[in-house]
Structures are given as C-alpha cells and as structure tokens.
Structure 1
Amino acid sequence: MSQPVFFVLPQWQGSASSRAMRLTEGAQLLREDLPASARIDVPVPLEAGDALGTPVARLSSLIRARDSARDLLAQSTGTPIIVGGDCASSLPGLEAAARRHGSENLAVLWFDAHPDLQHPSTSPSGAASGMTLRHALGDGTEDLRAQHPISTERLILVGTRDIDPEEDAELARLGISPMHITDVQRITQDPDPQALTGPAAYAALAAEFVTRAAGATHLYVHIDLDVLDPAEFGSVHAPVPFGLQVAELTGVLRAVLETLPLAGASICEFAPADAAAADDDLPTVLRILAALTSGRQAGTA
C-alpha cells in the first residue's frame, strides 16, 4: 500500500462519557509510538465547546476539530489513518475518502459495537459519537453531516451488537444487516466452532465482504475499539460483552485488504483508565495498526 500518514486527533468532545478526557491521554500514548516522519498532529480545542442552539453537545469544538482535520487531509497524498479520538473523529476521514474516490466506489467496513445511527433530535445523550454514521451518510445536523456522504450500498457493519430501538429501525430502513464473526458458520455451512478462527474463517468473511461491496474500488475502515471483547481489551469507556477477539479483527483486516486498497481508516475510543491498563492494551492497538497497513495495493490512486 502507499505510505500511511497518521493523523493524531485527540478529540474528546464527541464522547458521552464523564471520563472523556481519557481519550486525549490515549491519543498521546499512540502518538509516542508513531513515526514522527509519518505523523500529523491535528489541533483540537481545549474547551468543551457549545451546542450552538442544536441538540449536539459541544458542537462548536467539534466543528473546529473537524475543519482542522479537513484542511490537513486535503494536503496529504498518503493513506490517512486517524487515531486517538472519539468516534466522531472518523467523520473527516470518511468524507475525505468519499470525496477522493467517489461515494459510489468506496466500501466502508464499520467495526463498532454500536451502529452510531442516533439522530440529533432523538439522541438520549446529545453526544456526536453516537451520531457518527448518521452524519457520514449525510443525515443529522447541518453542521456535521458530510458534504460527501458515503453510500449505504457498500456499508458493512461487523461486530455491532448494542443497538437501540431507533437505530434498529434505521438499519432496517437502510437495508443493512450487521455481520459477525459467527457468520462464518453460515457462510461456510460448517457448524464446528473451530471453524470460526484461522485463515480459512477470515478468508470466508473477506469473500462475503467482497460480495456485499461489489463494485467498490477502495476501502475505508472505521474501528471503534469497543468492537473487541472486554476480556481481551478493556481500555474503552463502555465495554460491550461478546465482541471480536483481537485475532479475529486483525485476521479479517488482513484478508479484506488483500482484496481492496485502503483509502483511509480511523481507530477510535482508546481510553485507558490508568498506566497499567495502557501497558496492557497499547500493544493491541499497535497490532491493529500493523494489520491496517498490511495491504499490498496503493490507496491513493
């Protein structure tokens, strides 16, 4: 693949957590492990920000961070990978990929315990993170919805399992059925639990992905780390049981990136509670980054 460029975006204002500032600490830890020559720091306001008369909490700071990221992404020629923020930090990356390659050509692989399809008018928290996919699809508040929306036709949700009723209704309206690693049993028609792991399983999921993303020329990958099972990764604000194993996530990434070039990616919600948790979980995030940058094909064509 082309040279990755890491955009460190320590945005916390989109989070619903009372401990949202842990995201800035997680971003700093990641920053220290990224090569300086391939790292770009995106300025994020220090203040919480104002809702600007909308239902979206801290909107003014979110807009400023988004606009800073937009400007820097527009100047980059490498494959952009956004790291270190809440889920809403994915928005400028998704929009840049859709603008560069065309929404009709872009497949989006959404690894997240949540679909993030809440609408600003009905969101229980007002947190932009829970509205990320809604805005990326061109819906939601005018200030955040994408100028270049992604397409639902090549949007694939993996590991999504905590869905509120309104999001469930929106998934049904959009015709989106989330995938899970257990879909390998259905795809391969193999009832053996051992079939859920290893290269054959990941290849099966990649083949299913290619079927769903037919016609795409490039791939964008969104990873909220809460897609992982809490038994393997705990440095997120709201762990959700029965998630993916790290090996499953990285295995699927490597298999899929053999089929499509990477247009960009985001890794969100790294929020270690303390130094011990950071020591335990930082290597996992770096392992995921390694899988993301494993593709053979260039992502800038």
Structure 2
Amino acid sequence: MGGLSSGGWRERVSPSDFPGREPGPINVQRYRQVPAYSGIATFLGLPLCLTPEDLRAGGVDVAVVGAPVDMGTGHRGAAFGPRAIRADEWAVAHTPSALLESDTRINPFDELVVVDYGDAAVDPMSVEASMEPIRGVVREIAGTGAVPVVLGGDHSILWPDAAALADVHGPGRVGVVHFDAHADCAESVAGHLASHATPIRRLIEDEHIPGRNFVQVGLRSVLMPDDELLAWMREHGMRSHFMAEIDRIGFPAVLDRAISEALDGPDHLYLSIDIDVLDPAFAPGTGTPEPPGLTPRELLPALRRICHETPVAGIEVVEVAPNLDPGNLTAMNARKAIFECLTGLALRKKGLPGPTYLDPIAAGLAGEDETTP
C-alpha cells in the first residue's frame, strides 16, 4: 500500500521519545568547523530545536524552518529549496562565528541566537492539506517571541506563514513587504484556491492582512495582473511598485516609499521574498522566471535595511528550485538574502542608527562624522 501511512506525514515526534533530554538547542555537528558540503544540513550548521520548549529554553531570537511545498507551482522543484539553501556553499564553511557582513562589519550571530527548527509537515499529495500544518509550526515559533525564517517551497506558503503571524499578533496588526515579479493575488488557479499565485487573495479575504498593508516591489509579469486583477488590487488599497516605477525614479526612491508605506499602520511586518524578484541572470533556479528584474546589489542591502528599520516579525524566502540551476547560484543568493535579513535584525537589536547603516571604514568614511553615504 505504499511507504506513507495516511496520517504519518504530520505526526510529530514526542519529547518522550528522547528521555532525559533537557529542553534547549541541540548541536548536531560533530566538529567545530564543518565544510558547507559536510555534516548534518542545518542552516549554516546552526544548532537544532525541535519544540517550543527548546526555543524558550535557548532564548532563541530567530528560528529557521523549512516548508518544502511545490504542488502550488505545478511540481517545478521548489520542494527541494529548503535543503538546497541549507547546504549551499556560499559561506564555504558552516561556522557562523566566522561570518562577517562586509558592508556593516557585523556578525549577526554575535547579537542573535539563531537555530534551525527543521521542517513543517507537508502532505506530498496535497498543497491544500499542507497549509494548516505549516501555519501551526510558524505560529508556534512566533508564539515564543522568536522570528520565524521560513525556507520555501513555493509561494503558496505565504498564506499560512502570514496568517500564523496574524494569529499571534492579531488580525490587522501585521503588514507584508512582498518582493516578487508576480502579484500573487489571483482568485484561483485551475480552480484551486491554494497555489503560488493566490496567497494574498486568501489573506485579504480571510481578514488576516488588510489590503492596504501589502507593499509589493518588483512586479513585472507578462501575464498578471490583467486589468481586472489590477482593479481589484487598487480597490483593496494594495501598494504595488512595478519595475516601470523603479526604472522611472530609481530603486532607492522606490525603497524609501516602500518602507514608509510598510510603517503606515502595522505593529509588525512579515517580509516575503520570492527569489524570482531577481533577474533570471542571478536566479535561474525558479519555476516562473521573469526578465528583467532586480540585481543582488539592489535587493540584498534593501532586505538588510528593512529588517533594520522596521518591526520585522517574520521572513520567508520562496520559489528556489535547485533542480533548475546546476550552478547553485539561486540557492546562494537565497542564503545571502537570509544572511542580510539576519544582519538587519542584529543592527536593530544592537541599536545602531539608520537609515542605511554602513561601517565607516567599509563605506570610506573613516575619520568623518557621518556613517551614511
């Protein structure tokens, strides 16, 4: 009858399966310095937590969790995104204590307690059935006060991820900053309400996130939004910044607008990063590439700045399909995106000034009073 029982895919391992283990993060690496291609693939080789009790006992600030879903895109390979991002060799070695963000000269792991939280349960035959288990795991992370960083998976997971934040902080109190080539607010796809093209519609209709609290950056799809969908977006007050606007006034000006809009009302922000916001030259491993897009030099500092200057309470990076990118460039940029987000969170916790904090030496300002260009 097959190797998966009807409910085994969502049955949690119980703490009683590990008698005598005190709650807290578990270091699953055997050696102090582990190459990125070796050891047990937690994010950057970080310690592992399995329960909310582990998160609380460890005083965890950030918990990285996988949501390996790709049915919402039509099985293009995004389910393998979490493993690819964890195992990517961007940092050469899984040694967080040795990492330094070059623009700010900050090691985020000096300021933050960051762990891996494994993966959410996923029904390999149903994207719809996977939504509630993902929501539950993200909610239990956020409920401890830690920031969930969700590794997708396709963009259908924005629905349960952002809903989980609204469960914890309250409906209408969470905004979403959404980097994407696509609007992702269609009514349905081939009759399916849960897909990578529909999560924003679901969140607005379920009254988790008001339309005016969605701030979108990088839209440029050749298919959507059509005139009808664009009218719906405007009717619901969504703030959407297309690539045409970026081309017209420049990315820094659009980013200033997006940050101002993101702070217009919500107490907490959820940062949703679809890797296809990058130009396919920098992220070929994604199911729905759309040229021309942002460059890493534009996106990565923007993510750091948003996490520094706004009350970000959750982050996701989605649509990494490693099977479509034999050079691993997409996974590398996804992992660097997370690292820049962590740096921004560390800057905020450390109380360093914004906007756009830069280390004076790195910025060529040594000996000067200013710390911004």
TM-score normalised to structure 2 length: 0.62
Q: Counterparts in 2 of 1:11-90, with a 5 A limit?
A: 11-15=69-73, 17=74, 19-20=75-76, 22-32=77-87, 38-49=115-126, 58-60=127-129, 62-70=130-138, 72-73=140-141, 75-90=143-158
CA separation of 1:170 and 1:68: change in aligned 2, threshold 3 A: same
Given the superposition, is the C-alpha separation of residues 70 and 283 from structure 1 closer, same or farther in structure 2, using an over 3 Å criterion?
closer
Instruction: Name the residue aligned to 1:93.
Output: 161
> Are residues 125 and 114 of structure 1, via their aligned partners in 2, closer, same or farther at CA, if it must alter by over 3 Å?
farther
Q: Take 1:75 and 1:100, find their aligned partners in 2: how far apart are those partners?
A: 6
Kindly state the Cα deviation for residue 38 of structure 1 after the two structures are TM-superposed. Answer: 0.6
Supply the distance in 1 between the matched residues of 2:279 and 2:247 (Cα, whole angstroms). Answer: 19
Looking at structure 2, the residues matched to 71 and 109 of structure 1 have their Cα atoms a distance apart, in angstroms, of 19
* TM-aligned CA distance change 1:125 to 1:245, over 3 Å: farther
Contact 2:255–2:302 (CA under 8 A) maintained in structure 1: yes
Give yes or no for the alignment of 1:175 onto 2:237: yes
1:152 maps to which of 203, 207, 211: 211
TM-score by length of 1: 0.76
CA 1:182/1:275 → structure 2, altered by over 3 Å: closer, same or farther? closer
Equivalence map 1:98-109=2 (5 Å): 98-109=166-177
What residue in structure 1 maps to residue 316 of structure 2? 266
Q: Which residue of 2 aligns with 1:118?
A: 186
1:131 to 198, 202, 206: 198
User: Which residue of structure 2 aligns with residue 205 of structure 1?
Assistant: 254
Structure 1 residues 116-144: Cα deviation after superposition (integer angstroms, max 9, x where no partner) = 11113xx336352111111121x2xxxxx
2:63 and 2:115 in contact (8 A); partners too: yes
Q: CA deviation at 1:66?
A: 3.0
Deviation, 1:182, is: 5.7
Indicate whether 1:281 and 2:339 are aligned: no
Mark the structure with the bigger radius of gyration: 2
Q: Equivalents in 1 of 2:282, 2:191: separation in Å?
A: 28
Distance 2:311 2:321 in 1: 29
Q: How much does 1:181 deviate?
A: 5.8
Instruction: Report the Cα distance in structure 2 between the residues aligned to 1:236 and 1:275, rounded to whole angstroms.
Output: 8
Deviations 1:136-166 (A, max 9, x none): 21x2xxxxx4xx6112222111011221424
Q: 1:167-191 CA deviation, whole Å, 9 max, x = no partner?
A: 223213223342146645765xxxx
1:170-218 CA deviation, whole Å, 9 max, x = no partner? Answer: 213223342146645765xxxxxxxx4xxxx53x334312432323333
Decide which moves more: 6-15 or 103-112. Answer: 103-112
CA contact (8 A) 1:181 1:205 kept: no
Partner residue of 1:241? 291
Q: Distance in 2 between matches of 1:73 and 1:115?
A: 27
Q: Please show how residues 190-229 of structure 1 align to structure 2 within 5 Å.
A: 196=250, 202=252, 204-213=253-262, 214-229=264-279
Map of 2:339 onto structure 1: 290
Identify if the C-alpha distance between structure 1 residues 170 and 39 changes in structure 2 by more than 3 Å, giving closer, same or farther.
same
Contact 2:278/2:293, CA 8 A, preserved across alignment: yes
- Check conservation: 1:234, 1:277, Cα contact below 8 A: no
Consecutive unaligned residues of structure 2, counting only runs of 5 or more, are 1-59, 89-93, 97-112, 350-373
What is the deviation of 1:221? Answer: 0.6
Maintained 8 Å contact 2:270/2:312 = yes
Change (3 A) 1:274 1:243: closer
> How far off its partner does 1:113 sit?
1.2
SS in 2 for 1:28: helix
Q: Which residue of 2 aligns with 1:4?
A: 62
Distance 1:74 1:37 in 2: 14
For the residue of structure 2 that corresponds to 1:6, the secondary structure is: strand
1:37 shift after superposition: 6.5
Q: Higher relative contact order by CA 8 Å / sep ≥ 6: 1 or 2?
A: 1
Q: Which has the higher mean CA deviation after the structures are superposed, 230-239 or 39-48? A: 39-48
